[in-house]
Chains A and B, each alone.
Chain A
């Protein structure tokens, strides 16, 4: 059996007196599609941000692709990671944000080609060719020369997905990618992601409030509450037959709020 591509071991994350993650441990296998669900403030977005090195950790260890993320070997000991180590580790991971975070001063094509050209030394022509393939895949090829301000939210998010894919990371993190979208635009983004999940062997972690989508997308669903994983399992088990009372309460509330399951 293959070894996990992500190994999270007893992670603690505190903001001052507030403990967001409280000794969280989990493993993710290569190619696995994971959905992280749970109430706001349960720590699911924080775990993505920690994996993307956008946050620091207060304790514990994370191993990504066989290497420590926040630590590096110094002789026999582990030392905090320096910028060069983080740079090397970030190559393995890509992220799509809730608010897209496109570069407003660059056209769609330049948004996608910037990082491959700068960080991987890809030639401009090659980067653009690859970018057009990706934009075509997300249905945005005809908007390659538009700037983000000219796009709808759904279009922006599809560009953001293409931009993250352009670096071919081993692991992709999706942080509530449809939460900032108008309801009628959610579908187009979810369709792109469903195809991506079906066709790619990338490891994917998804934080979402779209339970129906989580159910289609994921091999495994993790229910977070108060910085801990309360329950995990296959989508059918979690959504149809939740064992824990907190999971049941959460799903009842979600259904009452009109989300489909």
Chain B
């Protein structure tokens, strides 16, 4: 008989790494999404060009290649990252590129008329964005952000390729040591699903909270 408790601890440790990657990767992705998404709407050509280049490049190349590049190639340029740093950087930049288009789309979906009202009220460009456009665009972004966060969570599995001990890596370890495939992979299947499910629930809660005043049910 195999004593599974030690192996379970191993897998849970992996879950913690996956969680870390997801949270930090999402944080970076969020920052990049707003930088590049709003950058694409800038009135300055150079800002638009930079944002577009970033988005097209990271959407257009594979996350595997990006990760290997960050981890194995950057050291040649004098920048050596830990596997966790490399993982967060690659995942955050990759998913951020997709999410940037979500930001842009949502901002554009808030009608022109709102901007015109802001001009008539003499709000500055920053004030328009901060107080009028973004508060209305955010609830529009959330459902797709939820998709992006789940994609990122599932994408974290690729970091096992640069020897980061995430959920998938640990399952491989357990499989190699016990010879059992069913139990470790079923366990991580359930754990991935549970994490994705909690992201969904959290996002749905946020969405309800944010769109409440727009539906007119504010007291």
Contacts and interface: CB of A to CB of B under 8 A. Distances in A.
Contacts of B116: 52, 54, 97, 101
A118 B119 contact: no
* Dominant SS among interface residues on chain B: helix
A102 B213 CA distance: 14
A91 interface: yes
B179 interface: no
Given A97-B113, A114-B131, A118-B127, A105 B122 contact: no
A241 interface: no
Contacts of A54: 116, 119-120
A91 B122 contact: yes
B213 A147 contact: yes
Given A147-B213, A147-B216, A149-B216, A101 B119 contact: no
Given A101-B113, A104-B136, A149 B215 contact: yes
B123 A115 contact: yes
A150 B123 contact: no
A53 interface: yes
Given A87-B124, A94-B120, A105 B135 contact: yes
- Residue of B113, B114, B121, B123 with highest tally of chain A CB at under 10 A: B121
Interface string A81-122: 001000100110111010101111111000000110011000
Contact of B131 (A97, A118, A146): A118
A150 B116 CA distance: 22
B214 interface: yes
Interface residues of B, number: 21
**Size category of the binding interface on chain A:** 20 to 34
A222 interface: no
- Residue of A93, A118, A150, A164 with highest tally of chain B CB at under 10 A: A118
B168 to A, nearest CB: 42
B35 interface: no
A115 B123 CA distance: 7
A248 B213 CA distance: 49
A182 B204 CA distance: 37
B127 A95 contact: no
Given A91-B122, A167-B122, A105 B113 contact: no
B213 A101 contact: no
A163 interface: yes
A123 B63 CA distance: 51
B134 to A, nearest CB: 10
Contacts of B113: 97, 99, 101
Contacts of A107: 213, 218
B127 A101 contact: no
Interface in B90-142: 113-114, 116-117, 119-125, 127, 131-132, 135-136
Interface string A193-230: 00000000000000000000000000000000000000
B117 A101 contact: yes
B121 A167 contact: yes
Contact of A119 (B114, B123, B132): B123
Interface string B197-215: 0000000000000000111
B132 A103 contact: yes
8 contacts: A83-B125, A97-B120, A118-B131, A119-B123, A119-B127, A146-B216, A147-B214, A147-B216
10 closest A-B pairs by CB: A149-B216, A101-B117, A115-B121, A95-B120, A90-B122, A101-B113, A150-B216, A147-B216, A105-B135, A119-B122
